[in-house]
A and B are shown apart, each in its own frame.
Chain A
């Protein structure tokens, strides 16, 4: 494949993953952190970067796990403990690095790490990459696009967040119910592009 062909296929797969197979609107992974991220425009970039960092790091770690001999037995239940260990390790290493290298900003940084680490977007990346990716490039791309998809969804929700919580919305629908209906409409648009829900197994 020449360079143009490679770039075209890369761009297509990135767009497909971010829009048509969006982690939040098509796979419903990371809905709660998306709502938390969209709430405050000042903290939004931090949470989005945090989640993207964790999805990419988790995906790379999963590539490492896939090289181990027992990784082929993907349906084994005990692998769940291993996956929990991966997230826990990334979480601890990140906190440790932040404490050692950016100690002055550690209290602020810590909050973003807590929000970003344990959520369905990161765990979903681990489980889905384990069942769908093969080469290092695929794992890396999957992790990055998962984070990008989360970022896109959070920014979309952030754009209408104040309207969904405004006095103009009837009391019963104001806030959370309106956010869910908005997400439903976005999910419908995304569903229309792909024509089916992405696989989860």
Chain B
């Protein structure tokens, strides 16, 4: 337990255990939604609010409940949290939420809520769990916003119609295949960075 405490660091969720680039969590929105900067920003806002609140509430469920029942309850709690947040965000953000399609309601059954909660977050003590959840959510957010920015900029030459003088564009970056490949390249970059850090230690 002591060793595990020492090993944990807030930056894990941001970099070395980044949900998108290293852990392979919530990949569908990162591949499909994160092809425009504003779409990614909007998704990140809704995702972080719904996921954080759902996980905080779900963490109070007794561990004595059977696993199957716990997972179903986590999804229900997320659905209950999703509804008011979605109503709150509608019209307040500078982006039409309906453009996010099925990926927005699918937050309620995402890997953060149905998998990482049981395998990682809820196995920690409360204070650490909160920090770990925040770290992973921030990690997810920077990953999708980065993907949205890079993919929109290099596939269209600009952001939201404003051109930035990018002479060489790669339109396929906008497609799902561009998302897969960029995530793979970023994953390799983070891993090589991690190895370099270890070698320096």
Name the interface residues of B59-87: CB closer than 8 Å to any CB of A.
67-68, 71-72, 75-76, 78-80, 82-83, 86-87
Contact of A180 among B32, B101, B181 (CB under 8 A): B181
Known A88-B75, A187-B175; judge A83-B105 contact (CB<8 A). yes
Q: Which of A25, A180, A188 has the most CB of B within 10 A?
A: A180
Interface residues on A, range: 35 or more
For residue A184, CB closer than 8 A to chain B, the reply is yes
A28 & B28 in contact (Cβ 8 Å cutoff)? yes
Measured between beta carbons, the chain A residues less than 8 angstroms from B28 are: 27-31, 120, 124
Q: Report B149-166 CB contacts with A as 1/0, cut-off 8 Å.
A: 000000000000000000
A178 and B176 in contact (CB under 8 A), knowing A80-B108, A81-B76, A88-B72? no
B59 to chain A, nearest CB (A): 18
Q: Nearest Cβ distance between residue B68 and chain A, in whole angstroms?
A: 6
Is B75 within 8 A of A87, CB to CB?
yes
Residue pair A28, B31 in contact (C-beta under 8 Å): yes
A84 touches B187 (CB 8 A): no
With both chains docked as a complex, state the minimum distance between the C-beta of B25 and any C-beta of chain A, in angstroms: 7
Per-residue interface assignment for chain A, residues 141 to 165, with 1 indicating a CB less than 8 Å from any chain B CB and 0 otherwise: 0000000000000000000000000
Q: Name the segment of B1-9, B130-138, B188-196 touching the other chain.
A: B188-196
Chain A residues closer than 8 Å to B103, beta-carbon distance: 200
Most buried by B among A95, A177, A187: A177
Q: Does B94 contact A (CB under 8 A)?
A: no
Chain A residues with CB below 8 A from B93, complex form: none
The CA-CA distance from A197 to B175 in the complex, in Å, is 7
Inter-subunit contact B98/A75 (CB<8 Å): yes
User: Is A5 engaged at the interface, CB distance under 8 Å to the other chain?
Assistant: no
Residue of A nearest to B75 (CB): A84
User: What chain B residues lie within 8 Å of A128 (beta carbons)?
Assistant: 102
A77-B86 contact given A84-B108, A92-B68, CB 8 Å threshold: yes
CB distance from B2 to the nearest CB of A (A): 30
User: Which A151-195 residues have C-beta < 8 A from chain B?
Assistant: 171-173, 176-181, 183-185, 187-188, 190-191
Complex: A47 Cα to B181 Cα, angstroms: 25
Q: Which residues of A contact B178 (CB under 8 A)?
A: 184
Among the listed A79, A122, A177, which residue makes an inter-chain contact with B187, where contact means beta carbons less than 8 Å apart?
A177
Known: A80-B82, A172-B192, A184-B178. A120 touches B106 (CB 8 A): yes
A35 within 8 A of B: yes
B195 — which chain A residues lie within 8 A by C-beta?
Answer: 171-172
Q: Which of B82, B180, B191 has a CB less than 8 Å from the CB of A187?
A: B180
CA distance in complex: A199, B25 (Å): 22
The answer to whether A172 touches B189, judged by C-beta atoms less than 8 angstroms apart, is yes
Bound complex: CA A176 to CA B17 (Å)? 12
Contact in complex: B183, A124 (CB < 8 Å): no
Question: Which of chain B's residues have a CB closer than 8 A to the CB of A28?
Answer: 27-28, 31-32, 176, 179-180
- Docked Cα-Cα span, A31 to B27, in Å, equals 7
Apart from A35-B24, A185-B177, what 16 extra A-B contacts exist at CB < 8 Å?
A28-B179, A31-B28, A83-B79, A84-B76, A88-B75, A119-B114, A123-B109, A180-B183, A181-B184, A187-B175, A187-B177, A188-B172, A188-B177, A197-B32, A197-B175, A201-B102
14 pairs from A and B in contact (CB 8 Å cutoff): A28-B176, A31-B24, A31-B27, A77-B86, A84-B78, A119-B114, A173-B184, A177-B188, A181-B181, A184-B181, A188-B175, A191-B176, A191-B177, A199-B101
